A and B are shown apart, each in its own frame.
Chain A
């Protein structure tokens, strides 16, 4: 017994020594060549939501490019919810693991970003704006520097835009009947019982739907962009919950169960269980038709008054083991090439965060020539973007929803 514990103890000691000596120099993005040379041979563990084939394929493609060009490895760590990645960093910190952490890069935005920022769990100082490819980023778009009303401070780098759009199967649902705002959607749901639903919050698509309805029903939209005021929260969300109460009996399974997430809703649209579904990517339906997951008769629509839109980012935890490679990866993601590949609906179809004016001419032409796909609305028909509310709304709405609908009757 004693010899065993000796072995264990010495093993632990060795491991600790190894951990300390392996601690790399903190990379500085303003000295880019040094970052690139430090990145070589590292392995980036990229924590990303793994629920979509398109995204996983794109990440795998990114990994191959970076291995080829910069000589480091990218491993996608698929999480069911970004919060899991945040939780890992927290667990690292709890155990005092302040170097060589288990997460190098997180696909993140909104409340997860705010939570980590408040906990000082990010690699500092802000590095995103110092990336060489930052010069292409469309900085006039406020959502690339303000994430859910929280300044990014360069702690995360944008790599894609999202916008809420709706899909329907034109073979089953008449175009003339389609709603043009939340109120009309309620009427549509009443006319077609069981044919509409939304993923149960905190699934982000479900929360997004709630925020869309809340925004539309709010009298004073400026409240949307201020931190939640506990005193008046109930009053502000009253119209939302009255709406949800009204729609509930007409939801799929009368709201006693909810779709798991967006890919599940896709199959439900294909089966005809649902008549209208929604996604956070305008070209998602085209990609799904391409992949044989939706019938060719599916089309998109949106609300003329606007739908929610946001930007998604990558961030580096304070204790990441491969910071240099993570920086190179983040920089590659905002290269014209990666953004072009990503926006192609054959691969993913995720809209770019770059400004066309800032791009070299050849790239401008390439982007302009991209085929949108049969079910994708042209930018002119996508309608205005409603910015995401202050991040505090997300948790508050989710909590209120869970309290009200989290236990079926």
Chain B
């Protein structure tokens, strides 16, 4: 009983203390206070300065709109797809595809997409010049388009697998088959039946993941920089530019912007929440009308098509990145490189070893810690009842809701003060801040939805608590635990901002190296790093999906 309590306290310290310090460290300069840079009195001047910047309104609007569009699209695609296909063979097969899709870090996926759809990209090369007549790339503005559609696409193809994965983890707790048959017996269409009867409890389970998608999409830096509008860029991208500007006065403006970013993200969440209520009411209204929506075949096909398309973008993007990594000269409109060479790899591999080791090391430790802490917190819930830790557990989601950029600068100052800058310990801890919520998010729903009577029976058989945990609950939740660990691992591998700031450039990972090298815009270098970036989490997910499948290959009830 003592252990879970310590774990809960520790979780609290790990998540909340850095967050609060970081926010304070950001808020003070936002209001003009940072004595080292000559800011010694409080002022609103920097907010005025921020809002006077050219195109700032458009940046904010863009950020808000793209985030909302990303979330709404991703959610709709996922929910309609699950409604239309859950329980089918196509669905079961897709489940094995989701993990590799999710494994790919956002930056790599974005690069892959860019190399596919750009005017000089692979898709147009395929049909040029024989079909299009182009011998040079046409002047179409596809990537970096002013409306941010390329960026939304890039985000959606990554968020769909994330939401699918969370949904898969939650589905076994629903009485999918029975409910579907019941709905069908009343004459409801597949999608309608699911939406009326299963979507509400399902949404209850994946709601926080949806919020996380929204918060992420509203504060993402890397994808936005790679695919998003440039003139002006989205708010988070501009904030990072100001943070890094040698004109130190811009630090204050950036800090003010970081607070605006916080408000922006929270407003997006509030609007989503309002929309949630509205849609719920509408659904109940429609449901009460008894509409059956029997002819939903077109919608089912559409959802399957969209999911397939997003998978295609990722896999094809990866293939193109791999191709670029071994490309010599590769001129438009050639569909394949003029020459293939291992020279790029030979050149980069020796420099990659150290970052690679750091990446794996940090990801493994932070993920292991996150899983243990999560199990500890959840176990405490089991022992003491759900409400005992509810407040604290809400706090766990803070790092997903508060935009990274809003507290990361202050955090860096904290590590410098404590002398832990560029230390593995600090890096692991800062990764833990972001890994833990994702692990928790992935694991808590299946954990809570677990049928407790299994444990009651086991306890009643006279089996000690820890043995019940080890022999009954953990094995039954093995898939969920491994999935959560793989998510955590992928999150750690993909961390850019925290790694750059806390690693201070001394501890580098594949991702920080990729982004630094990508600043040159060379497809070959991007190909190599994005490929490696994808490989690591992919391995994690492969284990998470193969291990339970192998272990439980003779157990029908555990096949999802």
A402 touches B54 (CB 8 A): yes
Mark each residue of chain A from 189 to 213: 1 if its CB lies under 8 Å from any CB of chain B, else 0: 0000010000010000000000000
- Interface flag for B177 (CB, 8 Å): no
| Residues of chain B within 8 A of A238, CB atoms compared | none
- Interface flag for B513 (CB, 8 Å): yes
Closest to A104 in B: B506
| Residues of chain B within 8 A of A77, CB atoms compared | 504-506, 508
- Interface flag for B301 (CB, 8 Å): no
Mark each residue of chain B from 1 to 27: 1 if its CB lies under 8 Å from any CB of chain A, else 0: 000000001100100000000000000
A408 touches B231 (CB 8 A): yes
Mark each residue of chain B from 34 to 50: 1 if its CB lies under 8 Å from any CB of chain A, else 0: 10110000000000000
Distance of A395 Cα from B246 Cα, bound (Å): 10
B416 touches A260 (CB 8 A): no
Q: Which of A77-101 contact B (CB under 8 A)?
A: 77-88, 90-97
Q: Which of B339-347, B377-385, B464-472, B535-543 contacts A (4 or more CB under 8 A)?
A: B339-347
Q: Report which of A53, A78, A116 forms a contact with B516, defined as CB distance below 8 A.
A: A78
| Residues of chain A within 8 A of B521, CB atoms compared | 51, 259-261, 263-264, 267
B504 touches A405 (CB 8 A): no
| Residues of chain B within 8 A of A88, CB atoms compared | 504-505
Q: Report which of A83, A91, A407 forms a contact with B246, defined as CB distance below 8 A.
A: A83
B136 touches A272 (CB 8 A): yes
| Residues of chain A within 8 A of B36, CB atoms compared | 90, 93-94, 96
Distance of A95 Cα from B245 Cα, bound (Å): 18
Q: Report which of B329, B413, B420, B422 forms a contact with A292, defined as CB distance below 8 A.
A: B329
Q: Report which of A83, A254, A258 forms a contact with B230, defined as CB distance below 8 A.
A: A258
- Interface flag for B88 (CB, 8 Å): no
| Residues of chain B within 8 A of A102, CB atoms compared | 421-422, 504-506
**Nearest Cβ distance between residue B245 and chain A, in whole angstroms?**
6
- Interface flag for B332 (CB, 8 Å): yes
Closest to B238 in A: A406
Q: Report which of B54, B341, B523 forms a contact with A406, defined as CB distance below 8 A.
A: B54
B55 touches A407 (CB 8 A): yes
- Interface flag for A291 (CB, 8 Å): yes
> Which of under 10, 10 to 19, 20 to 34, or 35 or more describes the interface residues of A?
35 or more
Q: Which of A10-18, A126-134, A147-155 contacts B (4 or more CB under 8 A)?
A: A10-18
Given A94-B34, A94-B36, A291-B343, CB of A261 within 8 Å of CB of B520: yes
Most buried by A among B119, B506, B516, B525: B516
Closest to A12 in B: B418
Distance of A50 Cα from B514 Cα, bound (Å): 10
| Residues of chain A within 8 A of B522, CB atoms compared | 51, 53, 263-264, 266-267, 293
Q: Which of B96-104, B137-145, B367-375 contacts A (4 or more CB under 8 A)?
A: B137-145
B146 touches A12 (CB 8 A): no
**Nearest Cβ distance between residue A299 and chain B, in whole angstroms?**
16
| Chain A to chain B contacts (Cβ below 8 Å), 8 pairs | A12-B417, A83-B245, A95-B413, A115-B248, A262-B520, A267-B120, A292-B343, A407-B232
- Taking A53-B347, A78-B513, A87-B244 as given, write out 10 further A-B residue pairs in contact, using a Cβ cutoff of 8 Å, ordered by the A residue number: A18-B419, A60-B351, A78-B512, A94-B34, A97-B416, A102-B421, A256-B231, A266-B522, A272-B331, A408-B146
- Lowest 4 A-B CB distances belong to which pairs? A51-B520, A264-B521, A15-B419, A292-B328
Question: B-side interface residues toward A, CB under 8 Å?
Answer: 9-10, 13, 34, 36-37, 54-55, 58, 119-120, 135-137, 139, 141, 143-144, 146, 230-232, 243-248, 251, 328-332, 339, 341, 343, 347-348, 350-351, 409, 412-413, 416-422, 504-506, 508, 512-513, 515-517, 519-525
